[in-house]
Structure 1
Amino acid sequence: MTRTTPEHQALGAFLRERRGRVTPADVGLPQAGRRRTPGLRREEVAQLAGVGVTWYTWLEQGRAPNPSDQVLDAVARALRLRTDERRHLMLLAGRTPDAGPRAPSPLMEVRPEHVAILDQLLPFPAAIQTAAYDLVAANRSYRFFFGDLDSVDPVDRNCAWLLFTHDDWRSSLVEPELVLRDLAGRLRAREAEFPHDPRWPGLLSSLREHSPDFERYWDEHEVRGDRTQLRRYRSSRVGRLDTIFQSLWLDQRRGERIVVLTPADAASARRLERLDSLVGAAPRWTARDGVLTDALIS
């Protein structure tokens, strides 16, 4: 039996929550008697996965010896995990896609090729963010999409923090519950994928303290992968904006990405062009202090 670690505890919490979502009928088992809690019993998961009940109990308690990939796959099938949920399970169990050491700094280095992308994407809003959702650079349209990003304290320039706690950002969401639940699931997936980023403990602790919605969604243990999707916003400057949200890799090993909002219809395209024209006196891109390469400073 191994010593319980925070990672083992997170694995156990994830398994318990997912077990509660699967009914006997979902997996072809008879509904035998009344159940004190929803979902499958531990012995039923163990039976479906072909493992011992005691061992599976240890797994949920964070005390199981190092499980094999085959056993984890069997548990994932028993709990009917989606592809992104299975990946999350493997990450929590210590199976990382990159076996080498990873200790990224809280912020990244913004290079000339990065700002060239931001510039060329205008009038579409685009920003560069770290694995922990810190916003380090943005083009003019993104800067003014939710208000004025440059007016936000640099310490608070984090997409998750702003959407969960900042009134201007949150009020811009036409479907806040859909977006915020998805965001919490993405954060949970990224924390497991990039666990050594020093930003995580402070960010997650602050979100739990200041946002009841985040705490509620986080405790659902939902896991969401990155995918292209429709996002609807209200702009104080130009009105309704229906966009296609995309997250594209800049450096997959470090989790650095560029997020882009492209118009979902002709009306939104015209409004994005109007937004950029209204703020056209501002620089075409902006970045935090201390992240630019020498080539951009000189």
Structure 2
Amino acid sequence: MLMPLKQGRRQELGDFLKSRRNRLQPADYGLPIGTRRKAKGLRWEELAQLAGIGLSWYTWLEQGREINVSQDVLESLARVMQLSAEEKNHLFLLALQQPPAANKPETIRADVQTVLQHFLDHWADCPAYVTDHKWDVLAWNRAACAVFGDFSAMNGKERNAVWRCFRSASYRELLVDWEGHAKRLLASFRSTSTCYVGEDWYQELVQELIEHSKEFQQWWPRHDIMGTPIGTKALLHLKAGLMMMEHITFQVYDAPDLKVTLYRPLPDNNTVATLAKLLEE
């Protein structure tokens, strides 16, 4: 059964706060450890005192109760918990459905998919695709299909980057370091989807992956948060063999919920020539 939207956000907020509290070391705050300490990380009362908030209030917040929270309190929690910029953004979106004032993004949306497709086609020798806030692949070029599979032949689920990462055997075989990629993707997905916690599509996707992927079931409770990483990726293509690509993801200014991911073939392992030959087929 799907839980109500607000309840889902409150539970996610409580779980996130608990996960971060458990990571804090008493010694880092000058607190005695003692032989009788059973709590993992800081105790509720220790965290509340350091943040300058009431113990009962913080306990209710972590338990997912329906209470109001101010930006000042969130700033204090972020400071004490030593949250990264991405984690702080995640915290604010869960609690207030808006990011911190200092990095609030534009929300204007324009229909730019046609123009994006022109750019994708222009990058003929670089695999590229566009994803939305659900991580659904909306547009792609021929090179992307040659390397990652024919997106036009996939159904809706198969074109979701998160679902495909954990449920597609062929995609798992393509990535030399699948585990590292999957962990980074999961942390990035959680960071970018904070606004949608509790929505039907979000709950259905997470629930299905929990039920059908042991890795997702194991990693999801960690509440890892990460920005969209750039770097180099090794791909073991069924026809072309080992290929080395560097990749980067751009946010579309006119439509902030759309992102363009671009792969550039590297000279390593003769990838440039290998991809060119693959595109000739």
Does the TM-score normalized on the shorter chain lie above 0.5?
Answer: yes
Letter in 1 for 2:275: L
State the alpha-carbon separation in 2 of the partners of residues 80 and 111 from structure 1: 38
Deviation at 1:40, TM superposition (A): 1.1
User: 1:202-256 deviations in whole A, cap 9, x for unaligned?
Assistant: 2222222221111221111111112323322222222223322211122565511
Normalising to structure 1: TM-score of the pair? 0.82
Residues 162 and 37 (structure 1), Cα distance of their counterparts in 2 relative to 1, 3 Å cut: same
Partner of 1:292: none
Unaligned runs of 5+ in 2: 1-5
Residue type at the aligned position of 2:193: E
Contact 1:237 1:275 survives alignment (8 Å) = no
Greater alpha carbon shift after TM alignment, 130-139 vs 152-161: 152-161
Counterpart Cα distance in 2 of 1:267 and 1:258:
24
Q: Distance in 1 between matches of 2:48 and 2:119?
A: 50
C-alpha deviations, 1:180-218, integer Å up to 9, x for none? Answer: 111111111122135597632322222222211112211
Aligned to 2:150: 148
Q: What is residue 289 of structure 1 aligned with on the other side? A: none
TM-score normalised according to structure 2 size: 0.86
- Indicate yes or no: 2:195 matched with 1:193: yes
Aligned twin of 2:35: 33
Query: Per the alignment, do residues 252 and 77 of structure 1 end up closer, same or farther by CA in structure 2, a change over 3 Å counting?
Result: farther
Distance 1:46 1:196 in 2: 27
The 1:244–1:28 alpha-carbon spacing in structure 2 relative to 1, beyond 3 Å, is: farther
What's the counterpart of residue 277 of structure 1?
277
**1:210-221 to 2 correspondences below 5 Å:** 210-221=212-223
SS at the partner of 2:262? strand
Residue pair 2:197, 2:203 contacting (<8 A) in 1 also: no
Whether the 8 Å CA contact 2:9–2:197 is kept in 1: the answer is: no
Q: Cα gap change, 1:252/1:214 in structure 2, threshold over 3 Å: closer, same or farther?
A: farther
Quote the residue 1:170 is aligned against. 172
Equivalent residue for 2:234, pick from 232, 235, 239:
232
Q: Write 1 or 2 for the structure with the bigger share of helix.
A: 2
Residue identity opposite 1:224 in structure 2? M
Deviations 1:242-271 (A, max 9, x none): 3222111225655111111123x4225x42
Cα distance in 2 for residues equivalent to 1:192 and 1:9: 12
Picking from 64, 73, 76, the partner of 1:62 is: 64
Instruction: Give 1:177 deviation, angstroms.
Output: 1.9
The amino acid across from 2:136 in the alignment is: D
Query: In the TM superposition, what is the alpha-carbon distance from 1:45 to its structure 2 partner?
Result: 0.7
Number of equivalenced pairs: 272
Letter in 2 for 1:72: L
Contact persistence 2:187–2:223 (CA under 8 A) = yes
The answer for the alignment partner of 1:267 in structure 2 is: 268
8 Å contact kept, 1:76–1:86: yes
Quote the residue 1:183 is aligned against: 185
Q: Using the alignment, how far apart are the partners of 1:278 and 1:181 within structure 2?
A: 29
SS of 1:222's partner is coil
The verdict on how the C-alpha distance between 1:191 and 1:276 changes in structure 2, with shifts beyond 3 A counting, is same
